[in-house]
Amino acid sequence: MTQAGPCAPEQPRRIVLGIGGGIAAYKVCEVLRRLTEAGHQVKVVPTESALRFVGAATWEALSGAPVRHSVFADVPDVAHVRLGQNADLVLVAPATADLLARAAQGRADDLLTATLLTARCPVLLVPAMHTEMWEHPATVANVALLRSRGNVVAEPARGRLTGADSGPGRLPEPVEIVDLATLLLHRPHALPRDLVGRCVVISAGGTREPLDPVRYLGNRSSGRQGYALARVAAQRGARVTLVAAHTADLADPAGAEVLRVSTARELQEAVLKTAPDADAVVMAAAVADFRPANPRPSKIKKSGSDPPPIPLALNPDILAELVLRRPQHQVIVGFAAETGDSEGGVLAHGRAKLARKGADLMVVNAVGDGAAFDVEHNSGWLLGADGVESVLPEGPKALLASYVWDAVTTRMQRPAR
């Protein structure tokens, strides 16, 4: 069994947070708060235009460090060189159309663009602008050029912009920006554009099977791992359809189409409808194995005696059905949340499930004692039908997602479209 790779310890890192001159700058205050609460040392470098939206006092209060934007500030410390040289990550949000253009041209007319030229660490640019600006050929060319140089230019979200406008170009939610930044701190090359032209379908969350209008049979899945898989796939260039079951507290991943379902049979219908055109299907949802056979039309009342037994019916095996129906080119990934018992350990049960289902890959998680479900981190094993097995190290769920997509891309046979 091979190791998937080292997981950097959770330790304070040096981050340069660049702020572009857009209205979305106010949302980056939450990004800064989350980064500093995680223990990172964050130096905020706004453009002059950015300070018209959020003042230096706000950035200084949240970061606990002085804020400068001019190359003539702190001249003896050569800040325009040292900031980039010493950083573990440069994160720019919002990255406006003007800022992307200046970065692509190699300009160094303020402290932020000079820092981008001297940085040798991962650089994450998170765009925010009106749809017309994002889709303009000049911006498209600038983004392509920046990506060709190794910068990560995130896909923007789709939604309400300034005024009444709506469309692609919205800044992703702060939690998603922090997740992407954290992923690059753990694994600098986790977001290659190797899924461009690919279509992927991902299920996430936990299904609920109604017992009566009030109660249901469910599970503890939060959907975070499925959302991380969708987020990473979208940022690696894929067209993502996310079938989400009860994940209302999670922000939609930027660049993904989200279909919301409730029960196992609803999830089955949505996945089978979207799967035929997909290059990969990842079944990360925790699907209920059983459902009440006869859901009550009204609330079951408490009485002085024990309630009657609740007969259960078997839910469809969606993963097995996908394997039977799949096109020849399609890669299918299953998830196994396991506990050890008298018949074998977690890994043994995972291997048995992989063989039984016929998937190409199986992610095996040990559950219980605060592991896997409803937490921010994850770990486990990645098993291949070809016999290749690797350990998935403990880390953010986006880190595990990046290893899964590595394995999926190596198994894709059909050329990207």
| Number of residues that this document lists for the chain | 417
Same domain, 258 and 372: yes
Least confident span in 65-69, 123-127, 380-384: 65-69
Do 141 and 215 lie in one domain? The reply is no
Tell me if 7 is assigned to some domain: yes
Q: Which of 123, 153, 186 is the last residue of a domain?
A: 186
Listed residues 186, 212, 236: the one ending a domain: 186
Q: How far apart are CA 302 and CA 161, in angstroms?
A: 50
Q: Which domain holds residue 407?
A: 199-299+306-411
Q: What is the mean pLDDT of the chain?
A: 92
Q: pLDDT > 90: what percent of the chain?
A: 79
Give a yes or no: residue 125 inside a domain. Answer: yes
Q: How confident is the model at residue 79 (pLDDT cuts 50, 70, 90)?
A: low
Token pair for 134: 């994002």
Residue 93 lies in a domain: yes
| Together in a domain, 354 and 322 | yes
Question: What integer pLDDT is reported at residue 295 of this predicted model?
Answer: 93
161 and 260 belong to one structural domain: no
Q: Which residue has the higher pLDDT, 217 or 75?
A: 217
Q: Are residues 272 and 158 in the same domain?
A: no
pLDDT at 366: 87
Q: Average pLDDT, stretch 66-94?
A: 83
- Is 204 in the same domain as 341? yes
Nearest to 18 by CA among 145, 110, 144, 150: 110
Please give the residue that has the higher pLDDT: either 265 or 11. Answer: 265
Structure tokens at 190: 């986790």
pLDDT over 70 (residue 264):
yes
Res 345 pLDDT > 70: yes
What is the pLDDT averaged over residues 256-278? Answer: 97
pLDDT in tens, 181-213: 999 999 999 999 999 999 999 999 999 999 999
pLDDT score, position 6: 42
Co-location of 153 and 209 in the same domain: no
Residues 42 and 106 in one domain: yes
Which of these, 210, 249, 258, lies nearest to 231 by C-alpha position?
258
Q: What is the pLDDT of residue 121?
A: 97
What average pLDDT does this structure show over 298-303? 87
- Verify that 104 and 138 share a domain, yes or no: yes
> What per-residue confidence (pLDDT) applies to 8?
43
User: What pLDDT shows up at residue 371?
Assistant: 54
Q: For the segment 18-31, what is each residue's pLDDT rounded down to a tens digit? A: 999 999 999 999 99
- 310: in domain: yes
pLDDT digits (tens, 9 = 90+) for 224-262: 999 999 999 999 999 999 999 999 789 999 999 999 999
Q: Which residues are catalytic?
A: 219
Mean pLDDT of 89-116: 97
Indicate if the pLDDT at residue 318 is higher than 80. Answer: yes
pLDDT at 281 over 50: yes
Q: Are residues 170 and 263 in the same domain?
A: no
| Short-list 174, 324, 157, CA closest to 230 | 157
Domain count, the chain: 2
SS (H, E, C) the chain: CEECCCCCCCCCCEEEEEECCCHHHHHHHHHHHHHHHCCCEEEEEECCCHHHCCCHHHHHHHHCCCCCCCCCCCHHHCHHHHHHHHCCEEEEEEECHHHHHHHHHCCCCCHHHHHHHHCCCCEEEEECCCHHHHHCHHHHHHHHHHHHCCCEECCCEEEECCCCCEEEEECCCHHHHHHHHHHHHHCCCCCCCCCCCCEEEEEEEECCEECCCCCEECCCCCCHHHHHHHHHHHHCCCEEEEEEECCCCCCCCCCEEEEEECCHHHHHHHHHHHHHHCCEEEECCECCCEEECCCCCCCCCCCCCCCCCCCEEECCCHHHHHHHHCCCCCEEEEEEEECCECCECHHHHHHHHHHHHCCCEEEEEECECCECCCCCEEEEEEEECCCCEEEEEEEEHHHHHHHHHHHHHHHCCCCCC
Residue 5 confidence class, pLDDT cut points 50, 70, 90: very low
CA atoms within 13 A on the CB side of 110: 17
User: In angstroms, rounded to a whole number, what is the distance separating the alpha carbons of residues 383 and 1?
Assistant: 9
Cα 331 from Cα 359, distance rounded (Å): 8
126, 161, 186: which is the final residue of a domain? 186
- pLDDT-derived band at 7, boundaries 50, 70, 90: very low
Would you say residue 191 lies in a domain? no
Rg (C-alpha) for the chain, rounded Å, is 23
Specify the pLDDT at position 161: 83
- Residue at 192 is within a domain: no
Amino acid identity, residue 139?
Answer: T
With respect to residue 235, please indicate whether it lies within any of the assigned structural domains.
yes
pLDDT in the model for residue 372: 55
CATH number at residue 382: 3.40.50.10300
**Residue 63 sits in the same domain as residue 112:** yes
Integer Cα distance of 305 and 173 in angstroms? 50
Q: Is residue 66 located within the same domain as residue 137? A: yes
Residue 21 lies in a domain: yes
d(CA 63, CA 43): 7
